Amino acid sequence: MSDLAIAPTADRPRQIVAAARALLEAEGPEALTMRRLADRVGVKAPSLYKHFPDKSSVVAALAAEMLRETAGVLTAAEAAAPGSFSALATAYRTYALAHPHLYLLTMGRALPAGGAADAAAAPLYRAAGGDEDRARAAWAFAHGMVVLELNGRFPPGADLSAAWEAGIAAFTPTPAG
């Protein structure tokens, strides 16, 4: 019935989220149902409700996981190239393209303030010199480009690398001269 080992009850929420992510990433958001998730975990669907009251709470757990991972990816990019919007945008895009269903599921909904969302935004805020408006505009560029790319909204043959470079250049401060 399951491709995951049955875990002790204390580990079950983590197991459920891992199974939900595997299902989501392999088959897309349509496949993420409580019944399919229960089958994947190896339990009856009502057992899931002991740990998550509904599907939206599973999605919220997936979103929190994605935000924690994004924060880690962006923090590592910032450490490798302090203050570089280019490094952050490249890391952001790379992560999103590697996890398209998780990215779209998470970013297509309201995000809770604080915690993982703030940690994910912090490197971009610092790269924008602490300017909230500039950081928001830079995020809107990166997010918009990723969503358009993931949804296949660019014309065939479009040079996405050139578009990314143009956007990055727009948010990269020019040296005072």
In terms of Cα–Cα distance, which of 131, 111, 8, 38 is closest to 68?
Answer: 111
Burial 32-65, CB ≥16 within 10 A → b, else e: bebebbbbbbbbeeeebeebbeeeeebbbbbbbb
Average pLDDT, the chain: 90
Spatial separation of the C-alpha atoms in residues 58 and 19, rounded to whole Å = 10
Q: What would the mean pLDDT of 131-136 be, rounded to a whole number?
A: 93
| pLDDT recorded at residue 9 | 66
Most confident of 10-14, 47-51, 94-98, 173-177: 94-98
Domains and CATH numbers, the chain: 9-53 (1.10.10.60), 57-171 (1.10.357.10)
Segment 23-69, tens digit of pLDDT? 999 999 999 999 999 999 999 989 999 999 999 999 999 999 999 99
In terms of Cα–Cα distance, which of 171, 146, 41 is closest to 94?
Answer: 146
Q: What would the mean pLDDT of 138-151 be, rounded to a whole number?
A: 95
163-169: which pairs have CB atoms within 8 A and are 24 or more residues apart?
Answer: 164/89, 164/90, 164/93, 167/89, 167/141, 167/142, 168/85, 168/86, 168/89, 168/90
Is 90 exceeded by the pLDDT of residue 134?
yes
pLDDT above 90 coverage of the chain, percent: 80
Spatial separation of the C-alpha atoms in residues 19 and 13, rounded to whole Å = 10
Is 60 exceeded by the pLDDT of residue 177?
no
Query: pLDDT-derived band of residue 2, with 50, 70 and 90 as boundaries?
Result: very low
**Considering the entire predicted model, what is its pTM?**
0.86
Spatial separation of the C-alpha atoms in residues 98 and 28, rounded to whole Å = 13
| Stretch (H or E) spanning 91 | helix 85-98
